[in-house]
């Protein structure tokens, strides 16, 4: 696909090292240029795949005090619930490095999905005003330094599922759904305008069960195929990188 960079790795371990290098480098560049690193993370296997960022040498070289951490999507469950994306990231990453607790923008777990989505968008608007999170040149959208996405075998990214009306959202930055095909059903998610306004977006995918979706998301398949949410990721002014292992890339024509 035009403009996207494909990084195909022989092993998951090699992918994880490249991903940690990539995150550390973007952190350094953002801190140098803006004084902050605004990063939004997803749930799922991504969290363990990015785990090397908490190990040597990165744990000592990354400027953790400058990290502002957000969630691309969250499940509407308590923060200590096994399904919570916050809990996953806290246990797998954030508890291992000296991030500033006040810079960790988890989604409120004590209100309805709709209220929590509105509150998260409100918080984000304040941070864009102060330029802690950058702003897009072409819209008023937040311009994250990095948005990290996983992809499901159905081609969903964030909590944006195939054929769902949430994909059409043009005005809201954060929306909610109550009918997620992947449990739990209630979720809060960034919308496509926010994802596509980022400076850098990475989609991190491993495993042969996702090879069809990778093919449909990246290759020039034409209009007779379903339009996957992952295919709609195309940053307006930013860079898109796909991190794939061999099994996930096995049905690609482009590689």
Which stretches of the chain bind ligand 6PG, using CB under 6 A?
42-46, 73, 75, 85, 150-152, 157-158, 182
Q: How many CA atoms lie within 13 A of 63 on its CB side?
A: 14
What's 2's DSSP letter?
A: T
Least separation in angstroms between CB 33 and ligand 6PG: 28
Least separation in angstroms between CB 129 and ligand 6PG: 27
Least separation in angstroms between CB 223 and ligand 6PG: 25
Closer CB to ligand 6PG, residue 36 or residue 53? 53
Least separation in angstroms between CB 22 and ligand 6PG: 17
Closer CB to ligand 6PG, residue 42 or residue 175? 42
100 conformational bin, left if phi > 0, alpha if psi -120 to 50, beta if neither:
beta
Least separation in angstroms between CB 157 and ligand 6PG: 6
Q: Are 46 and 150 in contact (CB under 8 A)?
A: yes
Q: How far apart are CA 145 and CA 68, in angstroms?
A: 10
Closer CB to ligand 6PG, residue 89 or residue 124? 89
Measured in degrees and rounded to the nearest 5, phi and psi for residue 76 equal -85, 80
The tokens describing 41, both together, are 């993370």
Question: How far, CA to CA in Å, does 37 sit from each of 161, 220, 226?
Answer: 28, 34, 35
Neighbours of 10 (CB within 10 A): 9
Q: How far apart are CA 231 and CA 215, in angstroms?
A: 10
Q: How far apart are CA 245 and CA 248, in angstroms?
A: 5
Closer CB to ligand 6PG, residue 46 or residue 128? 46
Residue with the two structure tokens 């749930």 = 43
Least separation in angstroms between CB 209 and ligand 6PG: 9
Q: How far apart are CA 240 and CA 71, in angstroms?
A: 18
Q: Are 204 and 148 in contact (CB under 8 A)?
A: yes
Closer CB to ligand 6PG, residue 150 or residue 193? 150
Least separation in angstroms between CB 252 and ligand 6PG: 18
Closer CB to ligand 6PG, residue 36 or residue 46? 46
Residue with the two structure tokens 């195939």 = 162
Closer CB to ligand 6PG, residue 36 or residue 38? 38
């Amino acid at each position: 696909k035009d403009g996207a960079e494909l990084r195909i790795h022989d092993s998951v371990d090699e992918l994880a090292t490249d991903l940690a290098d990539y995150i550390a480098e973007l952190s350094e560049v953002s801190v140098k240029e803006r004084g902050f690193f605004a990063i939004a993370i997803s749930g799922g296997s991504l969290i363990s795949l990015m785990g090397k960022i908490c190990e040597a040498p990165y744990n000592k070289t990354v400027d953790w005090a400058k990290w502002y951490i957000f969630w691309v999507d969250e499940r509407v469950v308590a923060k200590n619930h096994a399904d919570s994306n916050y809990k996953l990231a806290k246990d797998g990453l954030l508890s291992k490095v000296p991030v500033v607790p006040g810079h960790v923008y988890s989604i409120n777990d004590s209100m309805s999905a709709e209220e929590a989505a509105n509150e998260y968008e409100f918080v984000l608007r304040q941070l864009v005003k102060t330029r802690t999170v950058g702003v897009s040149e072409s819209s008023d959208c937040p311009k994250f330094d990095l948005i990290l996405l996983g992809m499901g075998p159905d081609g969903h990214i964030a909590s944006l599922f195939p054929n769902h009306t949430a994909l059409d959202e043009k005005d809201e930055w954060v929306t909610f759904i109550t009918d997620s095909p992947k449990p739990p059903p209630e979720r809060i998610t960034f919308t496509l305008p926010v994802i596509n306004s980022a400076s850098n977006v990475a989609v991190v995918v491993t495993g042969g069960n996702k090879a069809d979706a990778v093919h449909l998301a990246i290759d020039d398949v034409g209009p007779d195929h379903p339009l996957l949410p992952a295919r709609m990721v195309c940053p307006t002014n930013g860079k898109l990188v796909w991190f794939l292992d061999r099994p996930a890339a096995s049905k690609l024509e482009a590689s």
